[in-house]
Structure 1
Amino acid sequence: MRRLSFLFIVLLSNAAYAQQRFTLADVVNTTLKNSLDIEIAKNNLEINSINNNIGNAGGLPTVNLNANYNENSTSVNQKLNNGNTIERAGARANTLTPNVQASILLFNGFRVKATQKRLQELELMSKEQLNAQIQNAVAEAMVKYYDIVRQQSYFRTIRQSIELSAKRLEILQAKKEAGLSNNVEIYQAEVDLNARKQDLQTQQLILDQAKTDLLNIMNMKPDLKIDIQDTILVDKSIVLDSVMKMIPLNPQLLSANQMIRVSEQAEKEIQAQRYPAVRFNTGFNYSRNYSQAGLFILNQSYGPFAGINLQMPLYNGGILKRQEKTARIDVKNATLQRDNLVNTLEAGAVRTYQGYRNALQQRDAELKNYATAQTLLDLIMERYKLNQATILDLREAQKSFEDAGYRLVNLSYAAKVAEIELKRLSSTLLKD
């Protein structure tokens, strides 16, 4: 029976030899390289970087080439003052009017300046959004990485329990041969052993699915076999005051601040429409008219031109006034959203830190409890071999040991997740 149990465990574990080993650094680097969310944020930054140009703000001159050509076929019947008559059927006539025109904006209420500033703020906002997405993606990958470490710890605990259950069954069978045990105890031991084997298979499924989740975050093939060998080590040096001081540098908050400035510049763009717009226009005109009938067979003219164009807004149905009101509301909303985000980040930091400290304190106590449970289990096992403890004593000691193991790894995981979140909030996640 002991050999069969050992074989069962080996069959569940032998796939590890064909698995690809991943460290935490591998997971982080792969996520940074493959994350589609990060790629989208990079593309948005590139778009806003391209748009951040004075030409898009309307500050550069425009040069256009225009040309128009018309061909006509007409019938002419003309009587002149001198008594002559001109009659022509199907007379051809054509007109060609090409020109080159350049125009540059001289003044429009500083709208160009406001637009250019808005485009700059949009680019800066995209940079912060990219930074935030990087922090979020890395944090998500790290949490899932340590979840796999946690699930593997559960797996090892169940495997230890199977070994203990198999050993208990072996002892009972030896006792039965000596006439010191009965079938009831053996059957119960077999039921317990089979139940733990089922638990191991269930835990293997949970572990495999956790790995699939991590592969999804890293944008890798979901059926790739990966192996992670690590322990959960928690940074105990985090101080709440340090986290709170770093929150103003959180990329989400910096992006919200940029959004306020974007809205302010958009308001200035609208206000600029109340001022006159002045443009300087210049160019070169050419005109050619040809007709087979009429006073002039050919008439052409050409030459440069220059002029000033002035446009003064007087009334547009109150549209501009309403646009200004909505723009001011946009600024207020952006400010309120920023303030709400500050409250959310600060409250999240405090709550996470509370959980972080609590998990560390409980973990320290649970370490002692786990060691005690291990010692108790070893003692009960020895006493059981000597018929000085009952099977119920052994089962209770075994359950206490398993529960202590679960609590210990859960507390370590909770503390680690809180540590990751605190470092994400303080923008120090990638500085380790």
Structure 2
Amino acid sequence: MKKLYIFITTLALGSFTSYAQELLTIKDAVAIALSQNYDIQLSQNDKNITAESVSIGAAGFLPNLTANLTQNNSVMNSEQTQSSGVVRSLKNAKNNNLSYGVSLGWTVFDGLDMFKRYDILKETDNFQEAQFKQAVLETISLVMVNYYNIVEQTNVHKALESVKEISLERYNIAEARFKIGKASKLEVLNAQVNLNEDESNLIRQVNTIQSLKIQLNRLLARELATNFEVEKEMSYDELLTYTDLYETAMQQNPEIMKIEISRRLAELNLQQVKAKRYPTVRVNAGYNFNESESSLGFTTHANSHGFNYGLAVSMNLFDGLTQHRNERIAKINIESMDLRVKNQNEQLSTLLLTAFNNFQTFQSLVKVEENNVGLAKNSLDITNDKFKIGTVSSVEFRDSQENYINAVSRYNAALLDTKLAEIELKQIMGKLDI
């Protein structure tokens, strides 16, 4: 049976690339995710694209300079009757016209709209920055949750191994007793069934750990079959207070940052709409060259060149009250954003308080279950000693084993729940440190 277990476990591990496993710390995992995770890279690209748009040129501060060139040619059969009565005609008469030059246009005043456009570009960049921060927090949170799940399952696996070793010892004792006539065949069979169950649980546990490792490798954007070891200890910050969490969250939570930026964008939009009430002043200038040739006519060749300039002023006098409607709509949007800000603040407070209560509850459970593990381990050791001298039945022995495994599982689950609650709290806070 022991050989069978070793064979199946080795086969299950065969899908991984190497048996020499690296130690992957939580800091290493987060660092790899920050540099390789696809979601983070995509969000970074979106942020870079938005940052490229923050310029005075995109806001309309700078003039436009254009180069133009036009060449028109024609071949026509022409006939002209002059005022003197003379008729002139020419077949395949060629006419050529060439025009080229540069022109400049510059809006020098638009009711300060260009300043508002520049502010909108900056706030949009800030919004994308908050979006990027949120993507990083979500990804790192997933990495940490997956990592500590592996830690928990690895610790459970260790407990299962110790129980299996005890079951193997029990089986060997039962078989030895049967050979000398001090135990029945039923006792041997029961011991073997329990040993098989422990080995089956170990195989399932190995598969669970491997599945979690594959998921973590995917988050780290590396070879899925990469095998690794994780840290054995799982600790949490016992000094977290709701007041500190709330104050930091109101300043650094990405959702709060985004909703506040959206509120400022709504105000800027109103200012942009109001800018339409003022005139737009635009200056124009250019230098052009013109040249024409004609096979028939009074002028067979002509050219000109020179500088041109001017000023254009436009102002909306009446547009069917569209300006008034647009301003009213912009004001309503600001009122809506005020309501959304309040709603977002309440949602954040609800999430934070719920997560903090969970964190405190799980902390209490950790202390209770840690004590239970110690009691269950002492009970198992005593039961094992009594079984060796034949004063405890197989049923009592198995109950003691199951009690120990259940206690270890509950303790690790409570420890994991506490850690996950801490991760959630810090993610809500907007500052997910390790």
Report Cα offsets for 1:184-230 as digits up to 9, x if no partner.
Answer: 22211111111111111111111110101111111112122222232
Q: How does 1:9-408 map to 2 (within 5 A)?
A: 11=10, 17-248=19-250, 249-316=252-319, 320-408=323-411
Query: Residue 367 of structure 1 aligns to which amino acid in structure 2?
Result: E
The separation in 2 between residues aligned to 1:209 and 1:136, in whole angstroms, is 21
Say if 1:234 and 1:54 are closer, same or farther in 2 by CA, change over 3 A. Answer: same
Shift of 1:345: 2.1
| 1:153-187 deviation per Cα after TM superposition (whole angstroms, max 9, x unaligned) | 11112112211211221222232234332112221
RMSD, matched Cα: 2.3
SS of the aligned residue for 2:401 comes to helix
Give the whole-Å Cα distance in 2 for the aligned partners of 1:138 and 1:300.
70
Tell which deviates more after alignment, 221-230 or 277-286. Answer: 221-230
Q: CA deviation at 1:282?
A: 0.9
TM-superposed CA distance for 1:7, in Å, is: 4.5
**1-structure distance, mates of 2:85, 2:178:** 146
What displacement does 1:330 show? 4.2
TM-score (norm. length: structure 1): 0.92
Q: Structure 2: how far apart are the matches of 1:286 and 1:9? A: 88
Q: Aligned partners of 1:145, 1:174: CA distance in 2, in Å?
A: 44
Amino acid at match of 2:283: F
1:351 alignment partner AA: T
After superposition, the C-alpha distances for 1:271-328 in whole angstroms (9 at most, x for unaligned) are: 3233321101111233223222112222332221111112222455565555445544
Aligned equivalents of 1:381, 1:221: Cα separation in 2: 44
Pick which of 172-181 and 120-129 moved more. 172-181
Code of the aligned partner of 1:262: L
Gaps of 5+ in 1: none
Query: Aligned partners of 1:191 and 1:319: how far apart in 2?
Result: 84
Shift of 1:260: 1.9
After the TM superposition, list the runs of 4 or more consecutive aligned residues in structure 1 that deviate by more than 6 angstroms.
12-16
User: What are the superposed Cα offsets for residues 375-396 of structure 1, whole Å, 9 maximum, x if unpaired?
Assistant: 1111111122222222222111
SS at match of 1:348: helix
How many Å separate the matches in 1 of 2:47 and 2:332?
Answer: 26
Q: Distance in 2 between matches of 1:213 and 1:286?
A: 68
Q: Report the AA paired with residue 224 of structure 2.
A: P
Taking the aligned partners of 1:329 and 1:189, their CA distance within structure 2 comes to: 76
Query: Does the CA contact (< 8 Å) of 1:280 and 1:309 recur in 2?
Result: yes
Supply the distance in 2 between the matched residues of 1:8 and 1:100 (Cα, whole angstroms): 82
The 3-state SS of whatever aligns with 2:347 is helix
Letter in 2 for 1:77: E
Contact 1:5 1:163 in 2 (8 A): no
Q: Distance in 2 between matches of 1:79 and 1:33?
A: 82
Aligned-partner Cα distance in 1 for 2:90–2:178: 132
The Cα of 1:256 is off from its aligned counterpart by 2.1
Q: d(CA) in 1 for partners of 2:135 and 2:74?
A: 64
2 CA distance for matches of 1:4 and 1:301?
101
Using the TM superposition, name which of 130-139 and 262-271 deviates more. Answer: 262-271
Asked if structure 2 preserves the Cα contact closer than 8 Å seen for 1:5 and 1:166, the reply is no
Q: Deviation of residue 143 (structure 1)?
A: 1.1
Judged with a 3 Å threshold, the aligned counterparts in structure 2 of structure 1 residues 65 and 173 are, in CA distance, closer, same or farther, namely same
Counting aligned pairs with the same residue, the percent is 24
Greater shift in the superposed pair: 406-415 or 18-27: 18-27
- C-alpha contact (below 8 Å) 1:247/1:346 kept by paired residues: no
Change (3 A) 1:81 1:30: closer
Give 5+ residue unaligned stretches, structure 2: none
CA distance in 2, matches of 1:122, 1:311: 30
CA shift, 1:402, in A, is 0.8
Would the alpha carbon gap of residues 277 and 47 (structure 1) be closer, same or farther in structure 2, given more than 3 Å must change? same
Mapped partners of 1:85, 1:169: distance in 2: 128
Instruction: Assess, with a 3 A threshold, how the Cα gap between structure 1 residues 9 and 152 changes in structure 2: closer, same or farther.
Output: farther
Rounded Cα–Cα distance in structure 2 between residues aligned with 1:429 and 1:366: 27
